[in-house]
Structures are given as C-alpha cells and as structure tokens.
C-alpha cells in the first residue's frame, strides 16, 4: 500500500517596535520578530512547494516579507503558486544531482526549507518493497542532502549566515507501524540536520528540523482516516486532533526568523504531544 505522508488571510504583524537591549555581539531584533522577521537578506528556497505543506510555507513566508523561490516537480502547480503569491518558480528534480546543481548554480540564497517528500508504502520489514524503500530514501533523505549541499555553498559564498529547516516527521522520532521506509528516511534526515548544524554553525548558518504529525488531506485520509487507525492514534495524542498545514508552516517560518537566532540543531515536534507521551 502507498503511504500517505504522516507528517508532513492573516495580517502581517511587522511594525516598528522598541528594540531590546542585547549583549554586544548579538543581533538586534524587535518585539515582533519572535513572530515575523525581516527576511530581506536573500531569497529562501522551498522544495516540495507544489505540495500542501510546502505551498503553505511559501504563502506564510511571502506574507512575512520574504523573497521566495518555490521548487517542485509539478510545474503547473508552481506556476499557480507564483501567480498567487509572487514567488519565483524553479522546478527541478531533487533526486538528480545534475538537476540540483544546475538549478542552484550561481543562485543567491539565505534560507532553505527541505520539504520535498514521498510517503512510499505501508509495509512491515517482512514485506517491504525494497525498490519503494530506495525511492523514499532517494527523495526524503538523499534529495534533502543534495539540496543542502548546494544551497549551503551559496549561503557560505554570500557570507550573511542563513537558516535551513528540514521537514521531518513524527515517524522519525518514534516507531509507527507500517512505516519502515518512511520512518527510516526521516530518521536519517534528522542526522543530516544535526551534522549540518554542527558543520555550518561556523558560517552563521542554523539548521533545524520540524516533525509534523498527520495533516489530514484526501491523499492521507484513505489510511489515517480509517476508524481503526485514526481512533487509537488520536487517543494517544494529548491534543487529540490532526494538524493543519498552517500549523506546520508557522513554526517553520519562526525557525527561519531572527526570533530563533540562537536555535540550531533542534528537532521540533509539531504533533499535538504524541511523541511526548
């Protein structure tokens, strides 16, 4: 069975506010910057932007004043997103190093959201399709590393620091039945997040991960909407409901912002408390 991804009109609150007194050597930020930050240094690339979480993240970033480059493989959806938000569409294939290199060569970037993903299958270790496993790893893990490789080079070249957010999953933090491929790909992505934070910190580049629970969509409902799946799962979650795409995008924007300027290497669950219990 194919695996539905298990995790993966607002007012702009910018304004001039009193600046906080900060120690020498720290960056200035306004009181509003914990919610919205000035993303004017260089563009932010969002992969997987033709999907739900990726597209919503683009919308949130544009509302926050960011210049956004939206990537994905569905050119029609990217064009519609560009027409709606004013972002720049840049389709490329995250599984091809040549495609990633060509797309990002000479591109100025300050930020990156690795949101491209593939759910794969619902299977146990006994009956998994290894070709599906390879595809899941190729997109969710290898693809994120390829984009990070070339995007981080651009950030280092510009010398302005930067921020990267990898969209992982609750399936990378705890064992979920049927998620041998997807959970493995996200757990590996989490290690990429940690090592990248360690290696890139010297350049002022922060790297963090978010770990969403299920966003209920028509694509995910066929599995997660089954009463025998949904009921027991939500009964173990303190908040007892699925997430919305906006609830995933907002923390991503925060981690990119100056409000998170001392946060790197973290794994942030956005899962209603599921992995805490």
Confidence at residue 219, expressed as pLDDT on a 0 to 100 scale: 73
Confidence at residue 8, expressed as pLDDT on a 0 to 100 scale: 54
Confidence at residue 19, expressed as pLDDT on a 0 to 100 scale: 36
Q: Given the residues 14, 150, 182, 274, select the one marked as catalytic.
A: 182
Confidence at residue 3, expressed as pLDDT on a 0 to 100 scale: 63
Confidence at residue 12, expressed as pLDDT on a 0 to 100 scale: 36
**Which is more confident, 172 or 22?**
172
As a whole number, mean pLDDT of residues 185-207 equals 98
Q: How far apart are CA 53 and CA 70, in angstroms?
A: 12
Domain extents in the chain: 31-276
Query: Is the pLDDT reported for residue 21 higher than 90?
Result: no
**Which is more confident, 20 or 113?**
113
Catalytic residue flag (residue 182): yes
C-beta neighbour count of 267 within 10 angstroms: 16
How far is Cα of residue 158 from the mean position of the Cα atoms in its chain? 22
Confidence at residue 5, expressed as pLDDT on a 0 to 100 scale: 62
Confidence at residue 25, expressed as pLDDT on a 0 to 100 scale: 40
pTM > 0.85: yes or no: yes
Query: Is the pLDDT reported for residue 26 higher than 50?
Result: no
Segment 31-62, tens digit of pLDDT: 344 345 568 889 999 999 999 999 999 999 99
As a whole number, mean pLDDT of residues 227-235 equals 97
Confidence at residue 79, expressed as pLDDT on a 0 to 100 scale: 97
Q: How far apart are CA 209 and CA 43, in angstroms?
A: 20
CATH of 31-276, one of 3.40.190.90, 1.10.760.10, 3.30.1360.150, 3.40.50.720: 3.40.50.720
Q: Which string of DSSP letters, residue by residue, matches 94-141? A: TT-HHHHHHHHTT---SEEEE------B-B-TTT--HHHHHHHHIIII
Nearest to 1 by CA among 185, 140, 129, 169: 129
């Amino acid at each position: 069975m194919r695996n539905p991804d298990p995790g993966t009109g607002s007012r702009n609150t910018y304004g001039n506010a009193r600046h906080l007194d900060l120690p020498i050597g720290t960056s200035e930020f306004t009181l509003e910057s914990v919610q919205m930050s000035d993303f004017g240094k260089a563009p932010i690339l969002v992969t997987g932007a033709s999907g739900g979480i990726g597209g919503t993240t683009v919308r949130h970033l544009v509302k926050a004043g960011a210049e956004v480059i939206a990537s994905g493989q569905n050119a029609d959806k990217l064009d519609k997103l560009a027409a709606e938000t004013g972002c720049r569409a840049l389709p490329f294939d995250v599984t091809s190093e040549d495609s990633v290199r060509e797309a990002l060569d000479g591109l100025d970037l300050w930020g990156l959201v690795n949101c491209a993903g593939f759910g794969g299958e619902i299977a146990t270790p006994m009956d998994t399709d290894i070709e599906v496993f390879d595809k899941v790893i190729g997109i969710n893990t290898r693809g994120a590393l390829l984009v990070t490789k070339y995007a981080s080079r651009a950030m280092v070249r510009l010398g302005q620091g930067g921020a990267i957010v990898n969209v992982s999953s609750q399936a990378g933090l705890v064992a979920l039945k049927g998620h041998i491929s997807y959970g493995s790909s996200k757990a590996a992505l989490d290690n990429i997040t940690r090592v990248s934070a360690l290696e890139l910190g010297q350049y002022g580049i922060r790297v963090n991960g978010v770990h969403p629970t299920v966003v209920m969509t028509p694509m995910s409902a066929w599995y997660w909407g089954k009463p025998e799946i949904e009921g027991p799962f939500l009964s173990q979650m303190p908040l007892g409901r699925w997430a919305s795409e906006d609830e995933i995008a907002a923390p991503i924007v925060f981690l990119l912002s100056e409000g998170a300027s001392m946060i790197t290497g973290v794994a942030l669950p956005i899962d209603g408390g599921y992995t805490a219990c």
